[in-house]
Amino acid sequence: MAFTEVQERNRKKYYYRVITFRQDKKVKNKKKYLGVNLDNTDLTKAEKEADIELGVLNALLTEDEVLELEMIRKEYLKQPKATFDNRYETFVSQFTHDSTAIEGNTLTLQETAVLLFDEIIPSAKPLREINEVLNHRKAFDRLLAYDRDITRAFILELHELVMRDTLKPERNSQIGRFRSVQVYIRGVDWVPPAPLDVPLDIRNLLSWYTKNKKKLHPIVIATYFHIGFEIIHPFIDGNGRVGRLLMNFILHQNGYPMINIPLERRFDYYDCLLAAQVKGALRPFIDLLLDLLRKSQLLF
């Protein structure tokens, strides 16, 4: 368990991040100094950095959950090759529909599946929405074929695939590159980083990923990376779609089934993101992913 301790001395407030843990049947703790007289923004940032150093991320999953995830992984790896095409078409249809619908696309699941695999274009739908669906599958297929690790170039490539022919002409220069303008997010009271900060923030996120991908459980890595990516919001549009593709790439690369966030659970998804982004609480997002894995009838 992690918490912040405040000590008042000489009319100043000194902040410490404390983690308690059990060792040899005894409760022990580790402590890290955060700073003095911190405002809420600086305190939240310092808490997140301290949690990484103190190993809080290692404690996000219980031993039972780790065992449960390993059972799910083993069951997934036993899926017969003969069913691959069927599982692929079913998952891609659901994932593409839900991931684009979360961002406002109006194609139904059936329209999405027919467009992707029968090449039948639904009537009375905007060309932009048609391209969003087709693009998402192209990006997903690129993800499956990609045999290296996440890099800046791979992130930009996914964005280009996802966003091609979907933006207004005056915004096309923003496709496949980090945004050059400030963006804002409806429904939240925080603002993503300034455009000049985006390249460094992405570099830091990738550095964290490289340092920790072998130390932490893949579910924790996928959670932290996805949340960090959405906080940075590196693109003018398409951040959610690219972020969910990258989250699933991490799971897939580590032998775990991919996770689709259904449209009907989008508000749970938003709440979990907000809890992580504002309070630094990663556990609600972990709970969401675990719940979706437990209930999934399709392992892909």
Q: How far apart are CA 219 and CA 106, in angstroms?
A: 30
- Does residue 126 share a domain with residue 17? no
Q: What is the DSSP string of 85-136?
A: HHHHHHHHHHHHHHHHHTTT----HHHHHHHHHH-PPPTT--HHHHHHHHHH
Name the DSSP class of 5: E
- Does residue 66 share a domain with residue 55? no
Residues 6+ apart with CB under 8 A from 67: none
Torsion of CA 64, 275, 227, 185, to 10 degrees: 160
- Does residue 124 share a domain with residue 36? no
- Does residue 228 share a domain with residue 247? yes
- Does residue 152 share a domain with residue 16? no
- Does residue 110 share a domain with residue 76? yes
Q: How far apart are CA 203 and CA 61, in angstroms?
A: 27
Strand partners, 31: 18
Q: Tens of pLDDT along 72-85?
A: 999 999 999 999 99
Q: Tens of pLDDT along 91-105?
A: 999 999 999 999 999
- Does residue 214 share a domain with residue 115? yes
**Mean pLDDT within 140-149:** 97
Could you tell me if residue 157 is inside a domain? Answer: yes
Name the DSSP class of 232: H
- Does residue 205 share a domain with residue 285? yes
- Does residue 70 share a domain with residue 54? no
Q: Which of 44, 59, 74 is the last residue of a domain?
A: 59
Q: Tell the residue number behind the tokens 């700073």, with chain if given.
A: 35
- Does residue 198 share a domain with residue 177? yes
Residue 47 clears pLDDT 90, i.e. is over it: no
Phi-psi region of 257 (alpha: psi -120 to 50; beta: other; left: phi over 0): beta
**Mean pLDDT within 234-263:** 98
- Does residue 69 share a domain with residue 36? no
- Does residue 250 share a domain with residue 218? yes
At 221, list the tokens. 């890595």
167 pLDDT band (50/70/90 cuts)? very high
Q: Is 233 noted as a catalytic residue in this protein?
A: yes
30 pLDDT band (50/70/90 cuts)? confident
Could you tell me if residue 300 is inside a domain? Answer: no
Q: Residue 61: its pLDDT value, please?
A: 92
Residues 6+ apart with CB under 8 A from 150: 206, 209, 225, 246, 249, 250
The boundaries of the domain holding residue 218 are 62-295
The CATH number for 89's domain is 1.10.3290.10
Q: How many domains does the chain have?
A: 2
At 152, list the tokens. 């800046």
Given the residues 136, 159, 217, 233, select the one marked as catalytic: 233
